[in-house]
């Protein structure tokens, strides 16, 4: 069926011939029968081996502002060569990319890791991002591409739901320079029943990324009545602050999409929750709000280090990674 598909890693063999194999990439730990696929749709059991028919099958490639990931404290004002895949191990009913995350129909021809890195270099972008749908279910391709990208002098960026087990997470994060990780909610039951995700795995992924020196930024899409209780926003901010109060936290307004018709998050609600998060974090950014400034101020003198209005960005307040006015070290990786 998938004659030329590469073999995967992160799985264990069936206990007996013809029995299901076990995928060990994410907390679903799918038991995959011969001829079947895992829940993410991209990992198959072919004659007792886990194979990857979507290895390198991109659904999109574009040059984006790094702020679109969103990453605000990593190379502000730069562009990033961004690629997306197909499939996802979650099933968020508000997914804005459901046409690529919940089916595999948008997969195009395969691009080898070498050709991907060549395309990123040719674009002139300093960074290569794996984004749009969920990249981590393509861990083997990512590891190959990120290894080659790093050798070529590119920065590696991940935009992810953070839902993979420790062994692959450790390998991926060791190659990662900057990541935006979704922390979608604080209620583990809602995470599991509504999204198909696992809060503790995401928390472990974020913690590991921090420990390995990845430049982390965290995003919560604020959905009215679902994940926006004051105590939950406070708890998520406190969890992040326990790692570092300097980690940027993006609280983004939700808009109706896919299976959710709930009304969009009022801007006033996002601003109010951002104020709560600022009780424990230094850099909280409301997102998805039109005409809203999202500047970064010097922690020492209050000077505007980076000004942002939409994707219009100025880094005139920076001198390298320092404040251009008072010289204090800034939280920005320039
Ligand atoms: S990565 Fe895919 S196949 Fe593997 S356990 Fe997760 S959902 Fe299942
Ligand atoms: S994790 Fe991201 S890509 Fe996957 S379903 Fe949720 S929002 Fe969509």
Rounded to whole angstroms, the Cα distance separating 113 from 115 reads 6
Binding site membership of 101 for ligand 2 (Cβ less than 6 Å):
yes
Q: Give the distance (Å) from ligand 2 centre to CA of residue 182.
A: 9
| Distances from the Cα of 298 to the Cα of 215, 226, 305, angstroms | 18, 34, 6
pLDDT at 200 > cutoff 70: yes
Question: Domain 60-292 maps to which CATH number in 3.40.50.1100, 3.40.50.720, 3.20.20.70, 3.30.70.360?
Answer: 3.20.20.70
Q: Which helix (H) or strand (E) holds 275?
A: helix 267-277
**70 touches 35 (CB < 8 A):** no
Residue 108 has a pLDDT of 81
What phi and psi, each to the nearest 5 degrees, are found at residue 235? Answer: -65, -40
Residue of 36, 53, 137 with the most ligand 1 atoms within 8 Å of its CB, for mutation: 137
What phi and psi, each to the nearest 5 degrees, are found at residue 209? Answer: -60, -45
Binding site membership of 89 for ligand 1 (Cβ less than 6 Å):
yes
pLDDT at 4 > cutoff 90: no
Q: Give the distance (Å) from ligand 1 centre to CA of residue 32.
A: 9
User: For 164, left (φ over 0), alpha (ψ -120 to 50), or beta?
Assistant: beta
pLDDT at 1 > cutoff 60: no
Q: Break the chain into its structural domains and give their ranges.
A: 1-53, 60-292, 293-334
Residue 3 has a pLDDT of 59
What phi and psi, each to the nearest 5 degrees, are found at residue 261? Answer: -110, 10
N residues, the chain: 334
What phi and psi, each to the nearest 5 degrees, are found at residue 177? Answer: -90, -40
Residue of 60, 100, 161 with the most ligand 2 atoms within 8 Å of its CB, for mutation: 161
- Tens of pLDDT, residue by residue over 281-331, are 999 999 999 889 999 999 999 999 999 999 999 999 999 999 999 999 999
Residue among 216, 116, 203 at smallest CA distance from 173: 216
Q: Which helix (H) or strand (E) holds 277?
A: helix 267-277
Binding site membership of 79 for ligand 2 (Cβ less than 6 Å):
no
What phi and psi, each to the nearest 5 degrees, are found at residue 315? Answer: -105, 25
- Exposure of 312 by Cβ count < 10 A (0-12 exposed, 13-18 middle, 19+ buried)? exposed
- Secondary structure (3-state) at 253: strand
| CB atoms near residue 16 (< 10 Å) | 8
Q: Give the distance (Å) from ligand 2 centre to CA of residue 300.
A: 38
Q: What is the mean pLDDT of residues 212-232?
A: 98
What phi and psi, each to the nearest 5 degrees, are found at residue 224? Answer: -55, 130
111 CB-near residues (< 8 Å, 6+ apart): 56, 58, 83, 119
Binding site membership of 41 for ligand 2 (Cβ less than 6 Å):
no
Rounded to whole angstroms, the Cα distance separating 144 from 221 reads 31
Structure tokens that stand for 171 in this block: 């390998």
% of the chain with per-residue pLDDT over 90? 96
Structure tokens that stand for 220 in this block: 């919560």
Binding site membership of 97 for ligand 2 (Cβ less than 6 Å):
yes
For residue 17, is the peptide bond before it cis, meaning its omega torsion is within 30 degrees of 0? no
Binding site membership of 39 for ligand 1 (Cβ less than 6 Å):
yes
**39 touches 31 (CB < 8 A):** no
Ligand 2 atom closest to the Cα of residue 101 is 3
CA 290 to chain centroid, in Å, comes to 22
pTM of structure: 0.97
Kindly indicate the confidence band of residue 2, based on its pLDDT and cuts at 50, 70 and 90.
low
Q: What is the mean pLDDT of residues 185-204?
A: 98
The DSSP bridge partners found for residue 129 are 82, 157
- Exposure of 211 by Cβ count < 10 A (0-12 exposed, 13-18 middle, 19+ buried)? exposed
- Relative to beta strand 155-160, strand 127-130 is parallel
- Tens of pLDDT, residue by residue over 113-161, are 999 999 999 999 999 999 999 999 999 999 999 999 999 999 999 999 9
- Tens of pLDDT, residue by residue over 245-288, are 999 999 999 999 999 999 999 999 999 999 999 999 999 999 99
Q: Give the distance (Å) from ligand 1 centre to CA of residue 185.
A: 21
Ligand 1 atom closest to the Cα of residue 163 is 6
């Amino acid at each position: 069926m998938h004659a030329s598909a590469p073999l995967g890693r992160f799985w264990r063999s069936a206990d007996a011939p013809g029995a299901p194999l076990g995928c060990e990439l994410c907390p679903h730990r799918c038991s995959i029968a011969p001829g079947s696929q895992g829940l993410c749709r991209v990992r198959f059991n072919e004659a007792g081996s886990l194979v990857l028919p979507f290895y390198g099958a991109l659904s999109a490639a574009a040059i984006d502002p790094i702020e679109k990931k969103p990453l605000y404290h990593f190379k502000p004002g730069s562009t990033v060569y961004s690629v997306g895949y197909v499939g996802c191990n979650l099933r968020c009913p508000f997914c804005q990319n459901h046409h690529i995350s919940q089916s595999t129909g948008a997969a195009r021809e395969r691009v080898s890791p070498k050709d991907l890195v060549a395309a990123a270099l040719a674009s002139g972008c300093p960074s290569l991002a794996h984004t749009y749908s969920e990249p981590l279910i393509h861990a083997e391709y990512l590891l190959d591409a990120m290894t080659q990208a790093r050798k070529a002098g590119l920065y590696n960026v991940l935009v992810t739901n953070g839902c993979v087990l420790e062994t692959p997470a450790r390998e991926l994060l060791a190659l990662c320079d900057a990541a935006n990780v979704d922390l979608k909610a604080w209620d583990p039951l809602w995470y599991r029943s509504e999204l198909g995700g696992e809060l503790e795995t995401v928390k472990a992924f974020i913690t590991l990324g921090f420990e390995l020196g990845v430049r982390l930024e965290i995003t919560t899409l604020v959905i009215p009545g679902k994940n926006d209780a004051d105590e939950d926003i406070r708890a998520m901010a406190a969890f992040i602050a326990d790692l570092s109060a300097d980690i940027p936290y993006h609280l983004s307004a939700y808009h109706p999409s896919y299976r959710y018709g709930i009304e969009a998050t009022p801007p006033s609600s996002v601003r109010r929750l951002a104020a709560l998060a600022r009780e424990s974090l230094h850099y909280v950014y409301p997102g998805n709000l039109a005409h809203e400034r999202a500047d970064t101020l010097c922690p020492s003198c209050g000077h505007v280090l980076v000004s942002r209005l939409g994707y219009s960005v100025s880094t005139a307040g920076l001198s390298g990674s320092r404040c251009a006015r008072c010289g204090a070290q800034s939280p920005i990786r320039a």
